[in-house]
Amino acid sequence: MKTKRIKTTNSVKPDECWELVFMFMFMDDEDYYALSLVSKQFLSITNRLRSSLTIKPYYDQTTEQVLHLIGRFPNLTSLNFIGGDDIDYILPQLSTFPFRLTSLKLSHMSTIPATGLVTFSSATSSTLNSLTCSYIDFLHSTHMFLIGDCFPKLKRIDLSHCNDICISLLLKKCRNITHLNLTASSIIPLSRIMNFQLPTLEVLNLSYSTADNQTLNVLTKTCTRILQLSLGYCDRVTDKGVKSVLRNCIQLREINLKYCQRVVHLNVDSMLLLRPSLTKIMLPYLLAWVA
């Protein structure tokens, strides 16, 4: 009696198969790290698939080790640095890697790493469209020029939790900006009309900021096509400031006035009368209206 041979197939699935599986999973840094520990195959695959990386300061980690870690991921599009004293050295080295960043985040630093950004921008200014500089202890008006000169094509800028933001300098330099986040930042008041128009700005977040009526009036006369505006917890804004926004922003769809305690007389009807394009209103006393 002849025995039949049973053909066995390799149980190791090809990289392409695992890549498809991982691509449909919503994973953060910890998830990627956990998968990379399973096998050398998973380590190689996750290294290629990973598009974002967060770098936190570790006292036992040298600058060269940080650069080695970054170099493991050839397809990064987003880098997030939280703290660290050697960013001025690290940023210029990024141009030696094969990836092309579209987003750079810098936070919890004493000041902006100006020297590193200048060198870094020479290689990435054409691809970077989002920059975050939040929780920066010292931010000078010259930094607004630096950001605009280094990255003139930026579309998203986050300067939340910073002090002494000069909006006019920033907007004059970054003429392609569509999203601006100044949450919980102190803003240098705008006292006179800016002598330029910026129709690209669509989303503006001034929640918890020091924005006042005059700043709102000047800002919205320059950026007349804002679609979404958040003024939550802005205790310097009154009915007068909100009315100027409604008159100036000709396409405004959403406005958030949550806990704006000095906005007391406006209601949904009066706001729609001034700006019929509105589809969503959050009033100071937490009453929401949606078209």
The DSSP annotation for 181-195 comes to E-TT--BPPP-S--S
pLDDT at 283 over 90: yes
Output the domain CATH number for residue 35: 1.20.1280
Residues 125 and 25 in one domain: no
Q: What 3-state class would DSSP assign to 280?
A: strand
Residues 204 and 251 in one domain: yes
229 within domain boundaries? yes
pLDDT at 126 over 90: no
- Record the pTM: 0.86
Output the domain CATH number for residue 258: 3.80.10.10
The secondary structure of residue 165, as a DSSP letter, is B
What's the rounded mean pLDDT across residues 82-103? 92
What's the rounded mean pLDDT across residues 266-287? 94
What's the rounded mean pLDDT across residues 246-262? 97
For residues 213 and 19, the model is more confident at 213
Residues 17 and 112 in one domain: no
Residues 141 and 44 in one domain: no
> Could you give the percent of the chain with pLDDT greater than 70?
82
pLDDT for 199-237, tens place per residue?
999 999 999 999 999 999 999 999 999 999 999 999 999
pLDDT for 158-206, tens place per residue?
999 999 999 999 999 999 999 999 999 999 988 777 889 999 999 999 9
95 within domain boundaries? yes
How many domains, in total, are found in the chain? 2
Task: Report residue 193 CA to chain centroid gap.
Answer: 27
Encoding tokens for residue 90? Answer: 């690290």
pLDDT for 44-63, tens place per residue?
566 667 888 999 887 678 89
Give pLDDT, residue 30: 60
For residues 21 and 197, the model is more confident at 197
CA-to-CA distance for 144 and 239, rounded, in angstroms? 30
pLDDT at 2 over 60: no
Give pLDDT, residue 251: 97
pLDDT at 253 over 50: yes
Residues 64 and 184 in one domain: yes
Residues 118 and 40 in one domain: no
71 within domain boundaries? yes
Place of tokens 């003429």: 175
Average pLDDT, the chain: 87
Encoding tokens for residue 145? Answer: 């020029």
Residues 17 and 125 in one domain: no
Give pLDDT, residue 198: 94
5 within domain boundaries? no
Give pLDDT, residue 286: 80
7 within domain boundaries? no
For residues 141 and 31, the model is more confident at 141
31 within domain boundaries? yes
2 within domain boundaries? no
Task: Identify each DSSP E strand in the chain by its residue range.
Answer: 52-55, 78-82, 103-111, 130-138, 156-158, 179-181, 203-205, 228-230, 254-256, 280-282, 288-290
Residues 116 and 219 in one domain: yes
Residues 67 and 40 in one domain: no
Give pLDDT, residue 60: 72
Residues 44 and 74 in one domain: no
CA-to-CA distance for 230 and 284, rounded, in angstroms? 12
**Domain interval for residue 162:** 51-290
What's the rounded mean pLDDT across residues 21-30? 56
Query: Which amino acid type is present at position 96?
Result: T
Question: First CA to last CA across the chain, in angstroms?
Answer: 80
Is residue 48 within 8 Å of 74, Cβ to Cβ? yes
Is residue 46 within 8 Å of 74, Cβ to Cβ? no
What's the rounded mean pLDDT across residues 10-15? 55
Residues 38 and 120 in one domain: no
What's the rounded mean pLDDT across residues 106-128? 90
What's the rounded mean pLDDT across residues 6-22? 53
Give pLDDT, residue 287: 83
Encoding tokens for residue 263? Answer: 């906005």
Query: Which amino acid type is present at position 19?
Result: E
Residues 21 and 38 in one domain: yes
